[in-house]
Chain A
Amino acid sequence: MTDASVPQNLAPPPAEVEDVELYHAHSWITKYVFCQDAKVIAIQYAGTAITVGILALVLSWVIRLQLAFPGAIPFIDANVYYQSVTMHGMIMVVYMLTAIFLGGFGNYLIPLMVGARDMVFPYVNMLSYWVYLIATLVLVSSYFVPGGPTGAGWTLYPPQSILTGTPGYDYGIILMLVSLILFIVGFTMGGLNYVVTVLQARTRGMTLMRLPLTVWGIFAAAVMALLAFPGLFVACVMLLLDRILGTSFFMPSLVELGERKDYVGGSPILFQHLFWFFGHPEVYIVALPAFGIVSDLISVHARKNIFGYRMMVWAIIAIGVLSMVVWGHHMYVSGMDPWFGFFFAVTTLAIAVPTALKVYNWVLTLWHADIHFTTPMLFALGFLVTFVNGGITGLYLGNVIVDVPLSATLFVVAHFHMVMGIAPVLVIFGAIYHWYPKITGRMMDERLGKIHFWITFLGAYAIFFPMHYLGVLGMPRRFYEMGDTAFVPASAATLNIVITIIALAVGFAQSIFFYNLFRSLKYGAPAGGNPWRAASLEWQTPETPPGHGNWGKHLPVVYRWPYAYSVPGAPEDFLPQDAPPLRGEHSP
């Protein structure tokens, strides 16, 4: 391993990037619609994801209204409630968070951050977006079929998901499964691109240990997604066959509402295994890019190198590997062999160690830093609070015996919203405020951004922190009305009303963000190429927004890691990755 640090020959090595023929748009359609430029595809992905995300936000209001005022809202009945729960969950987890982190930020940032001209397979990349769009359209179309969308819960557990006691069992569930299958096909195309681009298209000098953590996070998430999504794929195909052809993969013999069904011997637990084999890595598929982005935001805005970069990379790898073997913690009370509980509790709690190390390193980055409280920084700090809070409640649910009373209660709902709902969404906002100047050439309004931050952060915390306590009390999730239940005091209903009011307010406050987003397109202050004075490669492009092919005539050459902030002896408090070395080739 020693010779890697020595330049192998003094003459500049040949460009390592293959001479790929760059795709050129010839018309408006190929430039903005069927475009193969990763930057445009990124915008398309993000735009679609945010659009369905808004739908999911509206659905969450339906859920909250029902929980606060059961029976008082005329258009909400049990069917609508369960359909909203299902669609909200599925959209947020798969169609919004996965798509925006990998398809949106991945497409925009990977080529720029590794110093490539584009993704290695631009055509496949374009195809990936269009398949994703079709998948979302199929999903949304389930609102227009008889019976409406499926109300099976986002986990789609059979037998219930394809039986008559569940809304949307006739067409909604079929459309949901088809949509997921399409999504996975489209995602696999994109995922291959992200991974191969990181592996193959890095510019000269960009070793793996000089990648910004954002790229590391997205890269690891893409690898995990490629390995985890087949689980969901297999589960969806088999469930679809059970529904359409009447096979018995998951369906045991059963009598439903007095009627004997033809299924024999299937195993509902098998579905749960396949589903969570995907479902748990999915949490980290969302979290790892967020981890990476937060590292970069904190480092840039605290003007300090990320503390313990090496540990951060190892932690990402360790989390990625471990997260593939913890899925069983979603199934402690599923009736699977209870001996598995020991194994999955150990692996689950083991993940806490690398995750905690990441948190320590973020916080330690602030030590002796020079912290600028910009909007992206505020969002990153908000992420830290919500993530630490949501992370430690994971220790309750991962520890098998403590999970027994808490599983299937609102504690679980509060936990996963805090850790993989609010925390990643705060990162998405922070990232948009941070990279918006690069994407558009203009700054977003800081004052509006800060108002947006305070409402979103404090509001979201106020929604989900108290919800844990309803779970501790024992209130189960997925109840569209509690009715008269002896152990639930009247104060719980009051709390539900308070939560709903805050949720509505926070939801509407997002219009501040959208107003800012669109207004700044035209009226934002011109940003220049590197408004945050950041060191990583994407801020060093010759043009802003980056032109076609990103880099002009020559690819950049990388001389150092992306976190050279406040280096002693340097003239400024940051050293771009592609700035030639200060003194000699080998400063320590």
Chain B
Amino acid sequence: MSVMGLFFISIFSFAILWLARQGVFAAHWLEEGEVANHRRPAATEPPPAAKVGLAIFLAVAGCLFSLLAAAFYMRGDAPDWQMPPIPGILWFNTAILVASSVALQLALVAARRAEFERVKTALLIGAATAGLFIIGQIWAWRELLELRFFASSNAANAFFYLLTGAHALHLVGGLVALARTTDKVRGEGRVTRALTTSVELCAIYWHFLLFVWLLMFAMLIGWTDGFGLICRRLLS
């Protein structure tokens, strides 16, 4: 529950700040006339709708993962809880996911500079490494299953599969978007504004998933046990 508390405090403070900037708490609501729509200097453009959409989707996904984390800690209180051994390949996977995120960031930089070939290469590397990460995750699952750590034998195993699975599914969704972007790159043959936006959205999503993965990995290894302990102390 402390996890949800942290999540909400951040979301709501952001929302309230934003509302305040939009003039919700100011007093000029009764005036007539053509007031400026957004409190934004005329020179900057509004962010594209897709970017705002992604930001909100990330909030939703963040909520989902926070809830899973909260459930993880609450369930982890029970005496039968026994974490499975962490397959070594996860370290490798982590490195691959970092590489994937870096590749997409490079693609974004290249797109902003309108270097078409580099965008293409970087996107392909990003997609390949992300694919590799997913294969690596499946490998980790196989390893655990061979060692007979079934989802039904202990809730900790089940959480391991659930968390990594949810994360991998999000990444698969990202790969679909990335494939469409790559497709657009092939079709256009040059860097357009729409393309830069697509690359940027993919990069943001990748960084988000990397961030989620790092927290999740720390949680699975047990580096955050102290945090769980604090939660319990706070609540009892």
Contacts and interface: CB of A to CB of B under 8 A. Distances in A.
Q: Say if the two chains contact directly (CB < 8 Å).
A: yes
Interface string A303-331: 00000011001100100010011000000
A6 B35 CA distance: 6
B6 interface: no
A559 interface: yes
B29 A196 contact: no
A247 B155 CA distance: 6
A247 B151 contact: yes
Contacts, number: 182
Contacts of B78: 265-267
A226 B34 contact: no
Given A200-B46, A581-B33, A246 B71 contact: no
A226 B56 contact: yes
Interface in B202-236: 235-236
Contacts of A310: 29
A585 to B, nearest CB: 4
B106 interface: no
Given A227-B59, A561-B30, A4 B39 contact: yes
B139 interface: no
B1 to A, nearest CB: 7
Interface residues of A, number: 74
Interface stretch (B61-69, B85-93, B177-185): B61-69
B26 A337 contact: no
Given A13-B42, A200-B49, A247 B158 contact: yes
Contact of A588 (B1, B25, B30, B60): B30
Nearest to B159: A249
A207 B152 contact: no
Contact of A9 (B39, B42, B60): B42
A48 B208 CA distance: 36
B188 interface: no
A26 interface: no
Nearest to A309: B29
Interface in A201-246: 201-210, 223, 226-227, 230-231, 233-234, 237-238, 241, 245-246
Given A238-B71, A267-B74, 10 more contacts: A4-B39, A7-B36, A207-B29, A209-B28, A227-B59, A245-B158, A249-B159, A266-B155, A317-B19, A560-B31
20 contacts: A6-B35, A6-B36, A121-B49, A121-B53, A196-B53, A200-B49, A200-B52, A204-B37, A208-B19, A227-B63, A230-B67, A241-B158, A245-B152, A247-B151, A249-B75, A270-B71, A313-B24, A557-B34, A559-B32, A561-B30
Interface of A: 1, 3-9, 12-13, 16, 18, 120-121, 188, 192, 195-196, 199-210, 223, 226-227, 230-231, 233-234, 237-238, 241, 245-249, 262, 264-267, 270, 273-274, 277, 309-310, 313-314, 317, 321, 324-325, 337, 557-561, 581-582, 585-588
